Amino acid sequence: MHQRRYFLFALLLWLVAAVIGFAVEAGWLRGFDAAVLLALAIPTRAAGWPVPVLLLATTIGAAIVRLPVAAACAAAIGWAGDRRGAAMIAASTIGILIGNAGLKLIVGRARPELLPHLAVETSLSFPSGHASNAAAVYLAVGWVLVRDGARAAIVWPWMIALVATIGVSRVVLGVHWPTDVIAGWCVGAGWMLVCAGLCGERRP
């Protein structure tokens, strides 16, 4: 039953991402993207203090931090006896890395140039790699922790807040359109749910 729910929610999330991608290609969301980016970035940059926090968040979402964290969590969970949970984290991490790179090539969207970039990026824009990878990896870690007995009321708010902050940081730093991030969250969370459905609940 849980597997079907996971797969259904994944399908819905991917459908949302596909609709956004279609709308982006058609040019329907340019006004929305520009308005939201400026509304988020200008006052946040003017305030000053949030920028270092968001730079830290974007670093946590980058491969240089995200991949070692995923590897360490998978190793620790596997050593504790949950090999399926460790495999789930590994599959979620590697799968989204490959999938997101492919989607960027398919859509081929350029990064925004409305404001100076506060982070150096050279790849394509849609979907956001930070948003999709953070959703797939950090939500996978959270799911396995809860599956193995951690308190959901503690784990999920922290993981969701982390993934949300990483995504928002990309917009404020000027390197992604808002729809890049929203689609990235949908793609990454959807892939995590597929991996969770394949992993299954832990047997006592």
Average pLDDT over residues 135-143: 97
Composition of the chain by helix, strand, coil, percent to 5: 75, 0, 25
Average pLDDT over residues 21-41: 96
**Rg of the chain on CA atoms, in Å:** 17
Closest C-alpha among 157, 6, 148 to residue 80: 148
Q: What is the pLDDT of residue 204?
A: 47
Q: What is the pLDDT of residue 203?
A: 52
**Tens-digit pLDDT profile for residues 59-117:** 999 999 999 999 999 999 999 989 999 999 999 999 999 999 999 999 999 999 999 99
Confidence category of residue 54, pLDDT binned at 50, 70, 90: very high
Q: Is the pLDDT of residue 122 over 90?
A: no
User: pTM of this prediction?
Assistant: 0.94
**In the chain, domain spans:** 2-199
Q: What is the pLDDT of residue 66?
A: 97
Distance CA 123, CA 130 (A): 12
**Tens-digit pLDDT profile for residues 144-190:** 999 988 899 999 999 999 999 999 999 999 999 999 999 999 999 99
Helix ranges restricted to H, 27-62:
30-47, 50-60
Distance CA 76, CA 143 (A): 15
Q: Is the pLDDT of residue 127 over 50?
A: yes
